[in-house]
Structure 1
Amino acid sequence: TIKNVEIPASQLDKALDGEMMFDGSSIEGFVRLEESDMYLKPDFNTWAIFPWEHNGRRIARLICDVYDIDGNPFEGDPRSNLKRVVKEME
């Protein structure tokens, strides 16, 4: 299931630096409360500015990988799992 987090432009620098944290336990089916602190690490190749606006402001998308508090790829992140499988096949 695709999940998304919306952030205001004022938090963009933090997100681009990979310092954006979120509470994974607040997303249904994601993680348990005791493993809830997660980091979003951006994949800059996915950056896109959409051709529409909301309330006069441009909207952009940036897909991120999910990491746990220790800096390890989150096992429940489909992107991380796909990358791992591709690497194993090489």
Structure 2
Amino acid sequence: MNRWKSAIVLLGGAAATTAACLFAEPALAGMVLMATVFCAAFTKPIIGNTQVPVNAGISVDEVRRYRLQHSGSTISEAAAAVARR
């Protein structure tokens, strides 16, 4: 599951929990909340924590080329990969 799908699932789960709490029984809201927490715990993080060296001398063109070659990579992942070279 990519980052956008997991974000949509988590936001949808939060909305469904709120709706179930307002319009249905608390037991249903609790089950929806548990499912949302389960998805949040076992999916890929929405916000990454890729470490990029501060004074790595990274070129914007190199990062752009890396992202073109490796589709789906984030800017911080590409910068970290270029810095390791």
- The TM-score with structure 2 as length reference comes to 0.24
* Higher relative contact order (CA closer than 8 Å, sequence separation 6+): 2
Instruction: Compare the two structures and name the one with the higher strand fraction.
Output: 1
Instruction: Compare the two structures and name the one with the higher helix fraction.
Output: 2
Whichever of the two has the greater Rg, that structure is: 2
